[in-house]
Amino acid sequence: MEAASLAQGVASPLSPREGMIKNVSLESLQLCERDGKAEDTGVVEMELPVARNIKISNITCDSFKICWDVDPHSTEKITHYFIDLNKKENKNSNKFKHKDVPTKLVAKAVPLPMTVRGHWFLSPRTEYTVAVQTASKQTDGDYAVSEWSDIVEFCTADYSPVHLTQLLQKAEVIAGRMLKFSVFYRNQHEEYFQHCRDVLGGRMMPSVKDNSGSHGSPISGKLEGIFFSCNTEFNTGQPPQDSPYGRFRFQVPAEVLFTPDTRLYFGDFYCMYTAYHYVILVLAPRGSKGDLYCSERLPELDVTNNRFLMRLCGEDGHVVFQHAQDVILELIYTEPLPLALGTVSQISGHQLMSLSTINAKKDPSCKTCNISVGR
């Protein structure tokens, strides 16, 4: 699914012209700054057209298409485009020693629209500014350049289902064997559960997921749900008695949330500079608001055949639930849940704050849980 939504204030998407779109490859798209030193590029006087009415379209997590109005009588002079691309929040980036060449990218002139692609300088869900100069390379190697265009802003997209499938495949490699479990549980402070009783009619309500995990995950900051865990201790088969989120625990039988009518989605795979890894899964009742959101953005898992969380029919006809042993599962249930469907009790262990994943940042250098697009 190709993302084409634009940041507010950006020009309207460009209608694609089949056969006219050229990719800017590694060979034709080069960084102008190497090891902190600007290329020694000369600039000469020559009248060239200024790029006007810049349009950004077909935005993905690591690419976009760019086009501008061109005077057909002046295109013969243009041999290159200078593209100044900066993260919006970093106003001091791209400080070049050569004051006349403040660009990051040099691309050979190709028919427009042109695709700019590369995870080495584009990250998902990030605001950028872009400006363009047209240029003409002279016989002596110097460049004649136009004035800079107006600056345009845009925001890159989330991971697509293709990127999430790559993350899913990486997570499958380390998931380990499956262990039985019987309850989902959620730890919070006592005040949280009291608020649910006194203000929310005895229900836990979905809230927007924080920005923990992969920066490009489409569920971060958007999907509403209630976090649960299901991991068990290997030696007891029971939930651990320690938690970073509070001393009071709500437990609910697994069959309450994971019914035959529940759809299961893969949401993310990440770590926090540690040896252990987290997998985020979404449990969404079929036809619910959360289900509709996930079905358009996330890979769906077969509830009877996947490497993370399964609902199986045992030999005796009873339903059996299993979770992966070697990853920590974070489960998001997308609907309100009455406390009366489970029990709340105090755990005997410690509140290990160091294990909290609230707004945790993903380790961008981990080879186990990163894919070759922006982090």
What pLDDT does residue 353 have? 52
* Range scoring the smallest mean pLDDT among 45-49, 268-272, 366-370: 45-49
* In the block, residue with structure tokens 């634009």: 6
* In the block, residue with structure tokens 């489960």: 331
What pLDDT does residue 89 have? 64
102-145 per-position pLDDT tens digit:
346 888 999 899 999 876 678 899 899 999 999 999 888 888 99
Instruction: Measure the CA–CA gap between 174 and 196, rounded to whole angstroms.
Output: 37
Instruction: Measure the CA–CA gap between 342 and 204, rounded to whole angstroms.
Output: 11
What pLDDT does residue 272 have? 85
* Range scoring the smallest mean pLDDT among 45-59, 166-180, 287-301: 45-59
Instruction: Measure the CA–CA gap between 302 and 296, rounded to whole angstroms.
Output: 16
Strands 278-285 and 328-333: parallel
User: Quick one: pLDDT band at residue 183, thresholds 50, 70, 90?
Assistant: very high
State the maximum Cα–Cα separation within the chain, in Å, rounded to a whole number.
85
181 three-class SS? strand
Tokens read off for 307: 């490497």
Fold of 52-156: Immunoglobulin-like (2.60.40)
Q: How many CB atoms lie within 10 A of CB 21?
A: 16
Cα–Cα distances (Å) from 248 to 186, 268, 289, in that order, read 8, 27, 29
DSSP state of 339: G
Strands 319-324 and 309-313: antiparallel
Q: Is the pLDDT of residue 152 over 90?
A: yes
Tokens read off for 50: 């200024």
Q: Are 152 and 122 in contact (CB under 8 A)?
A: no
Average pLDDT across the chain, whole number: 82
337 three-class SS? strand
What pLDDT does residue 73 have? 77
Q: How many CB atoms lie within 10 A of CB 183?
A: 22
Q: Is the pLDDT of residue 8 over 50?
A: no
118 three-class SS? coil
Buried/exposed code over 136-164 (b: 16+ C-beta within 10 A; e: otherwise): bbeeeeebbbbeebeebbbbbbbbbbebb
What pLDDT does residue 364 have? 85
Q: Are 58 and 1 in contact (CB under 8 A)?
A: no
Domain boundaries, the chain: 52-156, 161-355
What mean pLDDT do residues 48-62 have?
Answer: 93
Q: Is the pLDDT of residue 370 over 50?
A: yes
Residues 6+ apart with CB under 8 A from 297: 1, 158, 161, 164, 218, 219
What pLDDT does residue 334 have? 98
What mean pLDDT do residues 231-245 have?
Answer: 82
Instruction: Measure the CA–CA gap between 48 and 51, rounded to whole angstroms.
Output: 9
350-366 per-position pLDDT tens digit:
555 555 566 677 888 89
CA-based torsion, 180, 182, 186, 190: positive or negative:
negative
User: Taking the model in full, what pTM does it have?
Assistant: 0.78
* Range scoring the smallest mean pLDDT among 148-152, 215-219, 235-239, 304-308: 235-239
Tokens read off for 270: 């990440």
Q: How many CB atoms lie within 10 A of CB 76?
A: 8
* Range scoring the smallest mean pLDDT among 102-116, 133-147, 169-183, 282-296: 102-116
The residues with which 63 forms a beta bridge, in sequence order, are 117
